[in-house]
Structures are given as C-alpha cells and as structure tokens.
Amino acid sequence: MTDFKKLDIVVLSGGISHERDVSLRSGRRVAEELQAAGHSVTLRDPDARLLSTLVEKAPDVVWPALHGASGEDGALQALLRARGIRYVGSHAEGAGLAWFKPTAKTLVARAGIATPTWMSLPNGTFRELGANGVLAEVLHSIGSAAVVKPAQGGSAQGVTIVTDPEDLPRAMVDAYTYSDVALIEKKIEGTELAIAVMDSGHGPVALPAVEIEPLSGVYSFEARYNAGETTFYAPARVSEEVAERAAATAVEVHKLLGLRHISRIDLIVDDEGVVWFLEANMLPGLTETSLVPQAIEAAGLTLASAYSALALAAAGE
C-alpha cells in the first residue's frame, strides 16, 4: 500500500468491570492484528495514571477495548476528547445512548423500527410498590415468555430467558446483580442475527450478518466465549431479501444512535420475516469467538486490514 501510514497506537484492555477477562482477550487480539498490519502497538491496562500517560506519550490513536461501564458508558470517550486524544469508536454521546438499553430501544421505536415490547424497572420499585404487585404487572404487560437483562452491560451477564412465571423473581435478582435497572422484554422466537457496521471514513456499511445458533438454545456468557458451544453461520442462512432488510436496519440504528467506526447491532427475525431490534453494542467483543471478527472475514477482509483501516480513520479525524 503506497498510502500506508504507520501509527503509534495504544490499545486499552482489562479495566475493573465484570467483563474484564473478555476485555483482555479483545485487547490482545486487536493488538496482534494491528501489529501484523505494521503499526506500533502498546497494550495497556488502565489505572490512575492513564490520562497523564496518554498526554505525555501522545499516541496517534487510542483503541479502547474496555468492555463494561469503564469503556462503554461514554465517560472515557468524553475524557479522551477533552484531552484532544483521537480514539477508535463512538463518541460519548452515542456511547451513552447505546449503553443504556431502554434509551436505545425508545429511540429505535420512535423511528419506526420494530423492537420487542419492554418495561424497565429500577430495583427500588420493588421496595416502594411491593414485589408481588410489580411482578404481576410485568407478567400482564409482557407475558410469561420474556427476556430479563440488566439495562446496562454486555456479554449476556445477568440475562435470563423466562418461560415459567415462577422463574421471574430469580431472573430479576440476577439482572440487578449487574445493574440497578432491569429491562424485561417480550421473547421473540426466530433467527438471531448480529450485524457489524463498519465505517472507515466512507460511511457506515453493514457486513454480512452472522447467525447465532447456541447448542443450549440460549446465547449465554458461556455460549459466547467457550468454543464449540455455539454454531455460527457467516453469512447467515436467511433469504437475500431478509439479509438486505436486516442490514438496512443495522445501518439505520448505527446512524440513529450516533455510533462511529464500528458497532454491532443485534437483531432477531421472526417466522414472518419481521426484523426486530434487540440492542446495540458500540464497543463489540473482538475475541477469538466474537461475532464482529467473523463478519469481517465473511466480507472477505482480513482482521489486520480492517482494524488498520479503522485506526487510520480515527487518527485522521
């Protein structure tokens, strides 16, 4: 490549969230691919000296691979931007919208995009209004088949598929372990798709959809990160027409939430072909079993070239 520019890149991984181990794996993989592309890469676990060190080092670009609140709620991005440090990924505003799932779903629904019926409940609601009455209302509004998840967070931590009303209280407790607000949404049966949206400076483009088929029937934390527990199809085994509508939905959500560079939009297609939005990930996992790397390779790209393009785009903005 005649226009190649070698960058000095700092990859941030680890942190103190529940997703630290996943972050370490993502960061290591990103660093390896960027090095393979010819860049100078430093892998760093954040600490109290991070910002001062970055100001002193003045890298061309920072690549946050910090999953969980420490990297996805927008605070880190706001601090980096305040210091004039270029970075890969969404700005603070988009990060915050995607991070809090009820807000993302509200914006998506207002734009006319289908998303399962939902209800978000702070844990204090049960103390104030009584658990029995609140749970009865949840069942009345959502139904007995539901997905309960933390309103913030990723990697399926604290997520429960509820098919028996008696399991709902335990599911709420599990969700509150990871967030003060739980999101309960109607369970949609269908084909689960993850669509990576990538923008290296020429506008957001949807990569081939990855179809998710967990052997247990639930795409849990274990199914995500333990090899062999989930079968993935990239591209997904859906019709061309469904694939195009799902891709268009993913790009629309990416733009609507103000995301940047790379995102993963999680969808489900029901038996009637309706594409439902589930959630958006502004800092998707990039481990050896993650979905975005599979989508990049299904598009005929190498991880090294794709990650390099994103880093170059961030450095040039």
Q: Of 288 and 262, which is predicted with more confidence? A: 262
Residue 201, sorted as left (phi over 0), alpha (psi -120 to 50) or beta, turns out to be: left
φ and ψ at residue 292, rounded to 5 degrees: -60, -45
Report pTM: 0.92
Q: How far is CA 154 from the centre of its chain?
A: 7
Q: What is the mean pLDDT of the chain?
A: 91
pLDDT of residue 128: 84
pLDDT of residue 62: 98
Task: Say yes or no to pLDDT of 126 above 60.
Answer: yes
CA dihedral (244, 250, 253, 259) positive or negative: negative
Report the pLDDT averaged over residues 78-98.
Answer: 96
Task: Say yes or no to pLDDT of 3 above 80.
Answer: no
